């Protein structure tokens, strides 16, 4: 009896760990696995085909340009420059990436989560108020907000999959570096994924889900579309 229980648990665990939906970055099985540059040669499990190791070059392991900010997104005032497997093919299968985030004064990186990575932020310049929503295991309907004002040299971690935000509360620009334990951390913007999905979520679902009326839902949809 015990043995069957054990085997069943093992089989279920093996299934979930091998299922693409639950894909995490694997540990490397080889010294290097430089991604081929063919954009169609992607495997749907967060990885790319390796080029012949003999053809790898120093530039596959190199990126230049994090010394300058990216372009700020029109509405938000936050600029993201991401160095992931797409911009640095040598990251393939290594489970690591980095980004530079620049914030205009009073700009917000809205509520979001990274489905495949924890994110470790360090502030280089300015002051950023960060908030992390931690589910309350004692009450499914509540969460705890862990927040901090971060100054240069401060480090904060956002655990994989948890919702968080970053807000430049200073009156000058802020700059930060963020490291991810994924070659392709992904991002889910909470407001946009809910109010700007295609096709749209039925009004009833949003109205009931957020306890708002349909006019309010229409206004929210408009803001995020």
Ligand X SMILES: *[C@@H]1O[C@H](CO)[C@@H](O)[C@H](O)[C@H]1NC(C)=O
Give the interface with ligand X as residue ranges (CB under 6 A): 64, 67-68
Length of the chain: 225
DSSP output for 171-217: SS-EEEEEEESSSS---EEHHHHHHS-SSPPPHHHHHHHHT--HHHH
- Least distance (Å) from ligand X to the CB of residue 71? 14
Q: Tell me if residue 185 falls in helix, strand or coil.
A: coil
Contact between 131 and 190 (Cβ < 8 Å):
no
Tokens found for residue 4: 């069957």
Cis ω before 199 (30° cut-off from 0): yes
Strand bridging mode 47-48 / 155-158: unpaired
Annotated binding site: 112, 114, 164
Cβ closer to ligand X: 64 or 211? Answer: 64
Give how far Cα 56 sits from Cα of 33, 74, 79, 174, 186, Å: 9, 38, 31, 36, 26
Cβ closer to ligand X: 68 or 205? Answer: 68
Among residues 4, 8, 55, 12, the alpha carbon closest in space to that of 32 is found at 55
- In 187-204, which positions are buried (b, 16+ CB within 10 angstroms) versus exposed (e)? beeeeeebbbeeeeeeee
Using CA atoms, how far apart are residues 153 and 30, in angstroms rounded to an integer?
Answer: 35
């Amino acid at each position: 009896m015990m043995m069957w229980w054990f085997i069943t648990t093992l089989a279920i665990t093996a299934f979930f760990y091998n299922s693409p939906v639950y894909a995490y970055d694997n540990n490397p099985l080889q010294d290097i696995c430089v991604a081929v540059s063919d954009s169609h040669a992607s495997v749907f499990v967060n990885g790319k085909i390796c080029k012949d190791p003999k053809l790898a070059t120093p530039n596959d392991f190199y990126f230049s340009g994090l010394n300058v900010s990216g372009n700020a997104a029109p509405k938000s005032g936050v600029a993201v420059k991401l160095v992931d497997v797409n911009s640095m093919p040598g990251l393939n299968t290594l489970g690591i990436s980095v980004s530079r985030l620049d914030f205009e004064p009073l700009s917000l990186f809205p509520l979001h989560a990274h489905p495949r990575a924890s994110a470790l932020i360090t502030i280089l310049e300015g002051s950023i108020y960060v908030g992390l929503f931690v589910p309350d295991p004692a009450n499914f309907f509540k969460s705890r907000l862990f927040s901090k004002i971060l100054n240069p040299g401060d480090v904060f971690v956002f655990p994989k999959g948890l919702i968080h935000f970053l807000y430049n509360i200073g009156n000058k620009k802020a700059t930060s570096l963020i490291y991810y334990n994924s070659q392709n951390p992904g991002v889910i913007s909470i407001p946009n994924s809910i109010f700007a999905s295609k096709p749209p979520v039925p009004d009833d679902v949003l109205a009931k889900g957020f306890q708002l009326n349909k006019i309010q839902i229409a206004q929210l949809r408009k803001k995020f579309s």
